[in-house]
Structure 1
């Protein structure tokens, strides 16, 4: 065991699951937080360093209980990978149902706020003080995809959250950085490419999700005196630069 601990939200699939498996392979103590308890149990099976934490990131009480359980089990919280999110509807704004808008905000913004809040409080109180929060932004934190008003709005907001946490965390030894991942082969990206095929649009290039996980591992493994403030890792030929 590395002696370090990380809690990963959205750990049941996609980037979160790839990160969980990679950190476990590196000997970290890993908290797996997501809604699907049975999937988390499968990931944790056979790993003494894994703790399944079934919870909904939009539920404040469930988030607090999960963080309490993790810190009691691991002894401290060194890193939070604040990852849980969903894309929502792909449509122009006047075709987006208000319920869909509210759901994306609840998960991508409120959920990330609640988890960052829980992590910050525990990192501030623990001895030795400090820790690291890594927020999963997105290419869409900088440049939107067409028809992504819900997702893009929340991911722009995450950049503000990252900067605020970085500033407010300085007196307490809490570092915060953001990873902006473009077109890793996850269920979200596969769904977007399926929508593209159905509408006759080009299918976008993708990269292995493990490459994104390695980038998160690099950020998490730095000493607290160093921080990756923002990292972009993406499929090399995806339409990001100049996508407009």
Structure 2
């Protein structure tokens, strides 16, 4: 049996994951590496990226590139590093994001609003733009972009105006990328995720404010279930695309929230 490293075998497909140092990003990176993908890991913390690489399947091809997705120069350098190492890019998982402080709307500072918008929306745009340029010019042409949305793209939580606004905007970004990518064989889909068990969602399991003003513990799901969903979307043939999908803890208060 041939492998991607065997002479004459097809090269392994290449993926870039932002926010790959923890949580959903790490789980997706490990799932892709385990399925034979070459994986570029991006994030602001070099040591966290290196830990993700250490956990990857034996023999997996990984590349760690510390980068801040809100900085255009660092995004350009990130994608250049991926092209230099792997020669092409088949998948971008646009995952980097932040919640911001869970405070009442009138107490949210301009700086905190800007941090969330810059990371969740502008950072996603910069990475998608760089991936688009790469996929448009490479041969064979094309690729896939998967955006990490949220169930907050449909229904907000209390005290989440910045996060919710950016996730609604992510849906528009996904639709525009899908349309603009058609002539160049670039597919774009969005995965809306609810209550995956990660470092960022620890408060779900200790009690979180509900729409009726009470505080309640919420069910969570294994982050590996999210990773399997991304892997399914990534492995589709170029002619097929999951445009929008939702994966969530079955019993979380989303349907009927509020």
Determine helix, strand or coil for the equivalent of 1:57: coil
**Larger relative helix fraction:** 1
Determine helix, strand or coil for the equivalent of 1:128: coil
Q: Are 1:118 and 2:147 matched, yes or no?
A: no
Aligned residue number for residue 251 of structure 2: 237
Aligned residue number for residue 28 of structure 1: 37
Determine helix, strand or coil for the equivalent of 1:11: coil
Between 1:117-126 and 1:18-27, the stretch displaced more is: 18-27
Q: Is the 8 A contact 2:67 2:74 kept in 1?
A: yes
Shift of 1:193: 4.2
In structure 1, which of residues 175, 181, 186 is the aligned counterpart of residue 198 of structure 2? 186
Aligned residue number for residue 139 of structure 1: 151
Cα RMSD of the aligned pairs, angstroms, is: 1.5
Shift of 1:41: 1.6
Aligned residue number for residue 128 of structure 1: 140
Provide Cα deviations, 1:150-193, integer angstroms capped at 9, x if missing partner.
10000000000000000000000000000000000011211454
Aligned residue number for residue 202 of structure 1: 216
Higher CA-based Rg: 2
Q: Is the 8 A contact 2:205 2:219 kept in 1?
A: no
Q: Are 1:94 and 2:103 matched, yes or no?
A: no
Where does structure 1 lack aligned partners over 5 or more consecutive residues?
none
Looking at structure 2, the residues matched to 196 and 133 of structure 1 have their Cα atoms a distance apart, in angstroms, of 32
Determine helix, strand or coil for the equivalent of 1:207: coil
Determine helix, strand or coil for the equivalent of 1:40: helix
Aligned residue number for residue 182 of structure 2: 170
User: Residues 46-125 of structure 1 correspond to what in structure 2 (within 5 A)?
Assistant: 47-125=59-137
